[in-house]
Amino acid sequence: MHKAAPAHYRRGALLLQLRTDLLYRLKMRAHGPRLVSVYASACPTRELLGTIANKWCVLVLALLDQRSRRFGELKREIDGISLRMLAKTLQDLERDGIVVRRVLHTHPPSVTYDLTELGKKLIPTLAQLRDWAEDYIIDIERARERYDTKRSATEQNHTDLRG
């Protein structure tokens, strides 16, 4: 178990964050809304990164890159996603202008989802991330095993010293 950071470190981190936020706000006033800094908590880019860096988002967008899909198709093709999470992911992507929701006037009515032009611009970046993850998953799993083994041994040593 990790110890909490000492109070002076937490205060320092908080002060640094407040300073970054203040600088961001001052720059926004001076330069207008086009200035962004993902490191400032007030920057809207953080919320967008929270959406597009989500694993479910990456999977939904990869499928929509192939063709438009209905909700049920997405649910069937993405193993492990809940109905609630899929609905929220699609709503977030629609809100950000990355996905468009189309209601088809059929009987019964159906809804399809597709990428917008903005969403299509995001695909190459996400494809690189997905390709990297697939290319290096074996290396990542080995690193995780080494870390877990080392951590387990360290925790065991701490337990032995206390006991």
Indicate the domain borders of the chain: 1-43, 46-162
Q: Please provide the average confidence, as pLDDT, over all residues in the chain.
A: 84
Distance CA 31, CA 147 (A): 45
Token representation of residue 6: 């000492």
Most confident option among 8-22, 41-55, 79-93: 79-93
Q: pLDDT tens for residues 5-36?
A: 566 556 666 666 666 666 666 666 666 655 56
Given a cut of 50, whether residue 45 has pLDDT beyond it is: yes
Q: Which residue has the higher pLDDT, 88 or 13?
A: 88
Asked if residue 115 has pLDDT above 80, the reply is: yes
Q: What is the pTM of this model?
A: 0.69
152 three-state secondary structure:
helix
pLDDT at 161: 63
Phi, psi for 102 (deg, rounded to 5): -115, 125
- What mean pLDDT do residues 61-86 have? 96
| pLDDT of residue 125 exceeding 90 | yes
For position 16, what pLDDT does the model report?
Answer: 66
Provide the CATH topology of domain 46-162.
Arc Repressor Mutant, subunit A (1.10.10)
